[in-house]
Amino acid sequence: MFKRQIKQAILIFIVLSIITGIIYPLFITGIAQVFFRSQANGSLIYRNGKPAGSALIGQAFNDPKYFWGRISATSPVSFNAVASTGSNLGPSNPVLLEAVKARIKALRIADSDNASPIPVDLVTSSASGLDPHISLAAAYYQAGRIARFRCLSQDTIKILIAKHTSGRLFGLIGDPVVNVLELNLALDAYKK
């Protein structure tokens, strides 16, 4: 009787391993590829036939001719999806305060003529540390710097921001945001 139970247990293990380890994942992958191809493949954004990045994960842009996104909370590499996590630093934490001061300094140096208040999303990270979006306030804050470095008018930059703004979810939830990678790619593709 014991041998028969062992054989049944092994058979059930093999059958369930095949079903849950091979058949089910292949089935779900097939459905994802048919109905959600972009999302299933990482929501990649292509430029000249090559992936430029993902619409879902932020990237570090430090050149003043580009829009800058939120600070990444991942380490040791910025925007590392494997290390996705918030910083867990409270508002009184000296490490957070130093990071915010350093970012404010960098923003002021890059655009010394801009006396506007700096939007909070330009000096803090998101909960995941990977957010690819910035607020409209953060985009408009940077418009003057980018217009100057690219020899474009601020109106042109503002039109590009408007074209790449995503509205509220269902028209109700959240605030309008701009995907930094998409906007920077649009800047590079812009013809005067």
| DSSP codes of every residue in 52-117 | EEETTS-----STTS---PBP--SSSTT-GGG-------TT-HHHHHHHHHHHHHHHHHTTT--SP
| Strand 165-166, strand 177-179: pairing | antiparallel
84-126 per-position pLDDT tens digit: 766 677 788 888 888 889 889 988 988 888 889 999 888 887 7
**pTM for this structure?**
0.75
Please tell me whether residue 131 adopts helix, strand or coil conformation.
Answer: coil
Please tell me whether residue 145 adopts helix, strand or coil conformation.
Answer: helix
2-22 per-position pLDDT tens digit: 888 999 999 999 999 999 999
Sheet arrangement for strand 133-135: 133-135, 177-179, 165-166
For the chain, what are the domain ranges? 2-37, 43-189
